[in-house]
Amino acid sequence: MPNAITSVRDCAGLPSMASTPWPRPVRRHPSMLAGAQMSEVKDAAAKISPLAGHPATAAMLVDVPRLVTAYYTEVPDASVPGQRVAFGTSGHRGSAFRITFNQGHVLAISQAICDYRQQQGIRGPLFLGIDTHALSMPAYASTIEVLAANGVEVMLAMQDEYTPTPVISHAILTYNYGRASADSGRADGIVITPSHNPPDNGGFKYNPPHGGPAETDVTGWIEERANRLLRSDLRGVKRMPLNRALHAATTHRHDYLNAYVSDLGRVVDLEAIRGAAIRMGVDPLGGAGVHYWAPIAERYGLNLTVVNEAVDPTFGFMTLDWDGQIRMDPSSSYAMQRLIALKDRFDIAFACDTDHDRHGIVTRTAGLLPPNHYLSAAISYLFQHRPRWRKDAAVGKTVVSSSMIDRVALKLSRKLYEVPAGFKWFVAGLLDGSLGFGGEESAGASFTRFDGTVWTTDKDGIVPALLAAEITARMGHDPGEIYRDLTRDFGDPIYDRVEASATPVQKKRLAQLSPQQVKSAELAGEKIQAIITRAPGNDAPIGGLKVTADGGWFAARPSGTEDIYKIYAESFRGADHLRRILREAQAMVDVALAAPEHSDR
């Protein structure tokens, strides 16, 4: 069945890999640039679709009946690499139209997880959640059939309500509290979501008993087992009819919503928000938390308006993202046009993506905050207003997040824990309280409770959103103003990320780059201070390399979920300097990838 939505790279107008051995990047997230400076770098954004920021037309909407039909009728061929199960940094994702997310994939992954649980001796309940993508409910049904047939004690939401990713993490940790790591009765979880990906996508994530994203060795085991099942035409998959599965003795209902909402007062100062009568607006972007916000407002007496309560699997209410696609990305100024237009109605406004594990903060003073700006402001505030946190609790960031965070952490006299991309690297620190905060440049974050104990070990979009209101209430300034104060102390950096298509071979070569392959001694006219391929915080490979000078840096790495590579860059010297960094970064990558292929052996 043909795909109703063009791929990202086609929409971006990128040249063919056959005609161009290493294509020039296309800007994906110009919203990461400060609003006042965006015009200075507009020449680099030539690939932005003219439709970006405009409402979708009827012709652009996914045909949901055809999509669901493709889920059931298209059969993946495990001999075709693109149709196999593939866990990236955020689980397995794909589209039923492209035969990358179909019933065969879901049945195989579900059985593989059951086999993994048996191998690991995990016999506690499995908390199962879904988002609002059209493929999530069919995948939910397939998963339940397999879990029940394997005798897994599965916890479903009341009335099959949508369940955000952080709510599943919270449920796992709450159940496992006080249980030893060797306890076979510990719980784990599955979230069926492709995050903020387009409406024709589906996704599948596994969270082990620690409540966070599964480690690479875990997802690798599940991926290999699932593909073995696909190759055997699903022989070995246990399954029972859905009606029987729903009424099985091992299938239970759990009140996710009230368990999560009733606990929020232990991580965010909701009394301060209520006392200051902060006017808040929230756009759930049609996602899994759509029915959580009203109970939050009611329980805590908040002046909070849900500006859009629609649940529409076509997501036809969205404005189009940078490439003319529908994408529920709360960090994209193009996708967030509706809420940005309402900013003056509220003291603070926010949105979350489809599974509510990412946040977008809209202020009256600055509009939509770039993720790095809000992370910096949130870290500055939290470590000065959480006196019960451990004195040695560190600040967690990824190597591709802003160096503004480094400067904030230094002023706070807090250790910086810098790790590769992927929230899984923050799990252990959030669990034991050695991290007070963990955040990614892609607008994903979580932090510990007031008493320094774990809240979630997966990204939580709801809590950072409410924190923006707490900051506004307690400081009398919104996070945009807090960030502006930080720039007076530390400088005003410009940050950007660009992307281009890459073959699997090219991605592998980029992931294996060594410092010796960078021949230049300078970056944008400044002496290179460091070239790293391993993260300073945990010595884990970053899957690429990062080059740092006094006034800026860049990092290049392949995507873990798409056939693209990414170059991240930041300058404390201005827009011209940033452009020069990006040009030189691309040249360094070109030279490195043209070097002898010793790293491919």
Which residues form the domain of 338? 263-490
pLDDT above 70 (res 179): yes
> What is the DSSP code string of 188-254?
EEEEE--TT--TTEEEEEEE-TTSSPPPHHHHHHHHHHHHHHHHTTTTT-----HHHHHTSTTEEEE
Are 424 and 559 found together in one domain? no
Whether 171 contacts 148, CB under 8 Å: no
Q: Which residue has better confidence, 222 or 47? A: 222
Which pLDDT does position 596 carry in this prediction?
A: 55
What's the mean pLDDT when you consider all of the chain?
90
Please report the pLDDT score of residue 189 as a whole number.
Answer: 98
Identify the domain boundary among 210, 244, 259.
259
Q: pLDDT per residue over 18-40, tens digit each? A: 223 334 444 444 434 443 333 23
Same domain, 270 and 384: yes
| Whether residue 475 sits in one domain with residue 521 | no
Residues 135, 180 within the same domain: yes
Confidence of residue 132 (pLDDT cuts 50, 70, 90): very high
Q: What is the rounded CA–CA span in Å between residue 115 and residue 333?
A: 43
Nearest by Cα to 77 from 216, 202, 233: 233
Same domain, 312 and 413: yes
Report yes or no on 19 lying in a domain: no
Whether 148 and 187 map to the same domain: the answer is yes
* Residue 252 confidence (pLDDT): 98
**Does residue 513 sit in the same domain as residue 486?**
no
pLDDT band at 17 (very low <50, low <70, confident <90, very high): very low
The CA-atom distances, in angstroms, between 13 and each of 7, 198, 324 are: 10, 18, 11
Distance from C-alpha of 116 to C-alpha of 221, rounded to nearest angstrom: 8
Same domain, 213 and 237: yes
Q: How far apart are CA 523 and CA 367, in angstroms?
A: 32
Residues 302 and 209 in one domain: no
In a domain, 43, yes or no: no
**Bridge partner list, 202:** 94
Residue 44 has pLDDT above 70, yes or no: no
DSSP three-state, residue 427: helix
Query: In this structure, what CATH number is given to the domain that contains residue 564?
Result: 3.30.310.50
259, 286, 303 - which closes a domain: 259
Query: Is residue 595 predicted with pLDDT exceeding 90?
Result: no
What tens digit of pLDDT does each residue of 342-388 get? 999 999 999 999 999 999 999 999 999 999 999 999 999 999 999 99
Tens-digit pLDDT profile for residues 383-436:
999 999 999 999 999 999 999 999 999 999 999 999 999 999 999 999 999 999
Count: domains in the chain: 3
Is this model's pTM higher than 0.75 or not? yes
**Same domain for 183 and 81:** yes
Q: Same domain for 394 and 335?
A: yes
Torsion of CA 391, 213, 461, 410, to 10 degrees: 30
For the stretch 92-110, pLDDT in tens is 999 999 999 999 999 999 9
pLDDT band of 593, cuts 50, 70, 90: low
Catalogue the active-site residues: 195
pLDDT of residue 181: 87
Q: Residue 280 belongs to a domain with what CATH number?
A: 3.40.120.10
Q: Phi first, then psi: give them for residue 523, nearest 5 degrees.
A: -130, 115
From 259, 280, 301, give the residue that closes a domain.
Answer: 259
Q: Judge whether residue 46 has pLDDT over 50.
A: no
Q: Is residue 48 part of a domain?
A: no
CA 160 to chain CA centroid, Å, is 24
For residue 50, being part of any structural domain is answered with: no
SS3 annotation, 321-381? CCCCCCCCCCCCCCCCHHHHHCHHHCCEEEEECCCCCCEEEEECCCEECCHHHHHHHHHHH
Look at residue 112 and tell me if it is in a domain. yes
In a domain, 323, yes or no: yes
Query: pLDDT tens digits for 288-341?
Result: 999 999 999 999 999 999 999 999 999 999 999 999 999 999 999 999 999 999
What is the rounded average pLDDT of the residues 199-217? 97
Express as a percent the part of the chain with pLDDT over 90.
Answer: 82
Say if 36 falls within a structural domain: no
In 3-state terms, what secondary structure has residue 94?
A: strand
Same domain, 375 and 455: yes
Q: Beta strand 522-523 with 526-534: parallel, antiparallel or unpaired? A: antiparallel
Place of tokens 């189009």: 320
**In-domain check, residue 7:** no
Alpha helices in 121-164 (DSSP H): 136-149
